[in-house]
Amino acid sequence: MSDAVVVARRGSMAVVTLNRPESRNPLDPELSTALLAAVRDAMADDAVRSVAIAAEGSAFSAGGDLRQMRHLAASPAPAAHGWPGAIVELHHLALQAPKPLVALVDGPAYAGGFGLAGICDIVLATPRASFALPEVRIGLFPMIVVAHLARSLPRKVLLEMMMTGQPLSVDDAYRLGFVARICTDTQALHAEADRYASWFADAAPDAIRLGRRAFAVLADLPAPQALDAAQLFNLAFFLGDELPEGAGAFLEKRRPAWADGDG
């Protein structure tokens, strides 16, 4: 694995850490490719029950590397189109990820860095965190982040951020529901991540895997269709192996023994 990212384990949680602090963890092709590979590997590891994205240094991520982006106009169109390819693939992966994704934001998350936090199910942050989409100030519009952030923030709030470039404080991000918890410092941030990791480890793996996918489908359907689809989706749980084990464990007052052996 490239040292652009560092992967560690905290119990059953894999923590993938952006490791370019001297340049504010820019999402250039090298770092994005390493990040994509690390998250894919963690998702494929049966011993991993959740995945966190963190960052070294004073910034979570400043987004795309402007030193590279300023030269894209001189590139052939296919090269310019492919420049953000790895980060787009990561956004696609997040849509279908079989395990929870957690962002540990301990500094500014700007542009693509804001989008990186936005692909995660849970965002934990410290008071050092802030969020912004300043692309319009450099002649760009934040295209790739729209797909996830439009589902994470009120439409008008997001559009205002995109058109003005003004930052969102961690307190406002919490008030809007984007940030799940504000932790007092870095140590408290990781302690809170450990708490979430333990909750995810206690949950049934297939319930998380199938439920996360089902939620993404149901949330985008009109209510009548969502209800009908939900009734069908329930069959995967009613006829699966986890419900009998989970219900039996509850009634017998014991821990469930899930198929991955973590029970």
* Residues shown for the chain: 263
- Kindly report the backbone phi and psi dihedral angles of residue 61, in degrees, each rounded to the nearest multiple of 5, phi listed first: -170, 140
Q: Is the pLDDT of residue 70 over 80?
A: no
| H or E stretch covering 237 | helix 223-238
Amino acid 263: pLDDT? 43
Nearest 10 degrees: CA dihedral of 191, 180, 131, 28?
A: 60
Percent of all residues in the chain with a pLDDT value above 90, rounded to a whole number: 89
Q: What is the pLDDT of residues 201-236, one digit of tens each?
A: 999 999 999 999 999 999 999 999 999 999 999 999
Query: Do the beta carbons of residue 115 and residue 64 sit within 8 Å?
Result: no
Q: Is 135 a catalytic residue?
A: yes
Using the 8-state DSSP alphabet, how is residue 17 labeled? E
CA 123, 129, 132: angle at the middle one, nearest 5? 90
**Strands of the sheet with 50-55, listed across from one edge:** 5-10, 13-18, 50-55, 101-105, 122-125, 181-182
Higher per-residue confidence, 174 vs 74: 174
| H or E stretch covering 54 | strand 50-55
Using the 8-state DSSP alphabet, how is residue 240 labeled? S
Of the listed 30, 135, 160, 245, which one is catalytic? 135
Both structure tokens of 151: 């589902």
CA 17, 37, 142: angle at the middle one, nearest 5? 75
In angstroms, the CA 244 to CA 68 distance is 54
Of 68-72, 92-96, 259-263, the range with the lowest mean pLDDT is 259-263
Q: Is the pLDDT of residue 261 over 80?
A: no
Amino acid 211: pLDDT? 96
Amino acid 2: pLDDT? 55
For residue 237, count CB atoms less than 10 angstroms from its CB and return exposed for 0-12, middle for 13-18, buried for 19 or more.
Answer: middle
In angstroms, the CA 204 to CA 82 distance is 38
